[in-house]
Amino acid sequence: MSLVELAAALFLLCGCAFFLAGTLGLLRFPDTLSRLHALTKADNVGLLLICIGLAIQSGSLRASLQLGLVWLLALTASTVSAHLVARRAHRQSNGAGR
Amino acid sequence: MMLLAFDLLLAAGLLGLAVLVVAGPTLFVSLVAYTVFGLLMAVAWARLGAPDLALAEAAIGAGLTGAMLMLSYRRLLAIRPERTGQRLVRRSRLALPIALACTVLSAGLFMALAGLPEPQRSAGGDALAATAQSEVGNPVTAVLLLFRGYDTLLELLVLLVAWLGVAMVQAQARPSAPRPPAPVPLLDALLAAVVPGTVLVGGYLLHAGGQAPGGAFQAGAVLAAAGVLMALAGRLQPRARATPVQAGLLVLGLLVFTAAGLWPLAAGQPLLALDGLATVYAVEAAMTVSIALGLCLLFLGAAGLGSK
């Protein structure tokens, strides 16, 4: 196994570990806000690590840029959806109703 | 080895999710399981080497249908709150025997099919050979438009009939006028970035469909997703009637396809024998518009659209 393959595998494994941690947080944390906290942070970094690992494996600039785009898009979408979920949870807990 | 493990995990996940869809503890769990099922199904299609199906499944099966089910769930909460907590199906004592019988039947069918000799000449081989002679490089598009155009034409009709059904029941399905959601600055920023990107991707899929995975259904579903996003953000509102322009766009695919299909008759060719890449693209483009608007209206459960 070459050094490049080793680095790629390391990134992929680290990414999976982040996903695992985020999922554990989603399942185990007590309320909506802390679950979001676990999920968004861990998953965004996890996806970045996996994208880096795959980019190293692909060895092409074009594929790497595409993977970067995938990460950016997922980052944008998860930021906004987490914000919306948190906003709703915050309002409900403040008794402002739906 | 790793790939086999992945495939087995995928198959087990699909089966588990399927059970959850049918026999989930609550309606909500079943809906979520169905959406995730669609996503895993898309991965399964990709693993089977069918990127066209994977794209369509991810966009329609997981994305649009999932969002539509969630919206229906919210309406159900408003109309009949008591229904949402109930179990969907009570487990019958017959469930296990029936499941076993189905397993035995499937195994028997599999054994019988596995024992059949490899056919010398199959429709798939014929289609690939005929695709090579046409100007269309993507065999899926060639099959959809050139070899079984009748089927695809009627699929457009099905979408139109579904829209008619929605237009008829919309008053009952939406008892109160929906409140427009409060403006969220972050959401507006997302829309500004994502909607143009979605249009770009839809256009690319339509263009690519001639030679590579993609096509009218995938492009239409992606465009419809942009409409759904704008509807969820309150930018697009349901209306009880379609404007003349919207009605025209809804039937555009059907009209263009029919016209392009009738044209060969004048030249002594059989019905629906589309000729040339330009015709295929014209039909696909018209279909994309109709599919996008149709899916978006089905999602909204409304006959027409209006801006805020």
3-state secondary structure A24-82: HHHHHCCCHHHHHHHHHHHHHHHHHHHHHHHHHHHCCHHHHHHHHHHHHHHHHHHHHHH
Q: Which residue of A has its CA nearest to B189?
A: A80
Q: In this predicted model, what pLDDT tens digit does every residue of B193-246 receive, in sequence order? A: 889 999 999 999 999 988 888 889 999 999 999 999 888 888 888 888 889 999
Residue A46 lies in a domain: yes
Q: Where are the domains of chain B?
A: 1-107, 138-308
Domain containing residue A66: 3-92
CB–CB contact A76 B193 (8 Å): yes
Say what the pLDDT of residue A98 is: 42
Among chain A residues, the shortest Cα distance to B233 is held by A84
In chain B, residues with a C-beta closer than 8 Å to the C-beta of A83 are: 184, 186
Q: Is A80 touching B (CB cutoff 8 A)?
A: yes
What's the confidence (pLDDT) of residue B133? 83
Please name the residue of chain A whose CA is at the shortest distance from the CA of residue B192.
A76
CA B139 to chain A, closest CA, distance in angstroms equals 25
Q: What is the pLDDT of residue B135?
A: 83
pLDDT, greater one: A95 or B132: B132
**DSSP tag of B85:** T
- Please indicate whether, in this complex, the C-beta atoms of A73 and B197 are within 8 angstroms of each other: yes
Q: Distance (Å, rounded) from C-alpha B7 to C-alpha A3?
A: 28
A79 to chain B, any CB pair closer than 8 A? The answer is yes
Query: Helix or strand or coil: residue B93?
Result: coil
Interface A:B, Cβ pairs < 8 A: 18
The share of chain A scoring above pLDDT 90, in percent, equals 45
Residue A97 lies in a domain: no
The answer to whether the Cβ–Cβ distance between B184 and A77 falls below 8 Å is no
Is position A65 within any domain?
A: yes
Question: Across the strands, what pairs with B238?
Answer: B305
| C-alpha separations of B304 from A30, B1, B164 in Å | 43, 52, 11
Closest by Cα among B156, B140, B144, B142 to B45: B140
* B194–chain A Cβ distance below 8 A for any pair: yes
Give dist(CA B118, CA B60) in Å, integer: 34
Q: pLDDT tens-digit profile of B242-297?
A: 899 999 999 999 999 999 999 888 888 888 888 788 888 999 999 999 999 999 99
Domain count, chain A: 1
ipTM associated with this complex: 0.80
User: pLDDT digits over B37-96, tens only?
Assistant: 999 999 999 999 999 899 889 988 888 899 888 888 888 887 777 766 666 566 778 888
Q: Is residue A19 part of a domain?
A: yes
